[in-house]
Amino acid sequence: MRARLRHGACGWGTRHDASAVLGWVCGVCRIDPLGYAACFVYPGTALILLRSLAEHRAADRQEDRTAVVERPGLLGLLYLHNNLHALHHERPHVPWFALPAQWRLARAGLHATRGPVYDGYGEVARRYAWRPHHPGPHPLAHEPQIGGLGEPAQKAMTP
């Protein structure tokens, strides 16, 4: 019961937070809602989706599911160096500001055992702006998942 109340409260809290931000942007800052959506929401969402597209992929082997963008430019700082995604998964305890130095030390070993390495986000855009990032359904789509945790669902036993 308590978890259900917390979940419901979280949903309402998120809506209230978004309403408060929109109220502040439109009322206090005097920014038109369409201008806010066009100049802030859409570009921000596009940047987040670019990172997600570049660094995650469907693959049979778990090690091949994360990619690295080696020279991200200013986007690396914006993404807190999570562009070094394979390293981030390999060593999650490393703080974001230490990831570039760790990458330089571990680069050769991670190249051999991990997914693709892109030169920069420009390369990602050139490769995938007009064609699919990966073909077909997810390789594990045939296995039902429990809550997205990567564990196959137990098959119901019939008496």
Question: What is the reported pTM?
Answer: 0.59
Q: What is the 3-state secondary structure (H, E, C) of 26-61?
A: HHHCCCCHHHHHHHHHHHHHHHHHHHHHHHECCCCC
Can you give the residue range of the structural domain that contains 41? 11-128
Does residue 136 sit within a domain?
A: no
Does residue 43 sit within a domain?
A: yes
pLDDT in tens, 12-47: 566 778 888 889 988 999 999 999 999 999 999 988
Number of domains in the chain: 1
Does residue 3 sit within a domain?
A: no
Residue type at 33 in one-letter notation: P
Does residue 108 sit within a domain?
A: yes
pLDDT in tens, 39-68: 999 999 988 888 887 777 777 777 777 888
Segment (H or E) for 117: strand 117-118
Does residue 44 sit within a domain?
A: yes
* DSSP letters for 66-92: B-EES--THHHHHTTTTTBHHHHHH-T
- Residue 158: exposure state from Cβ atoms within 10 A (0-12, 13-18, ≥19): exposed
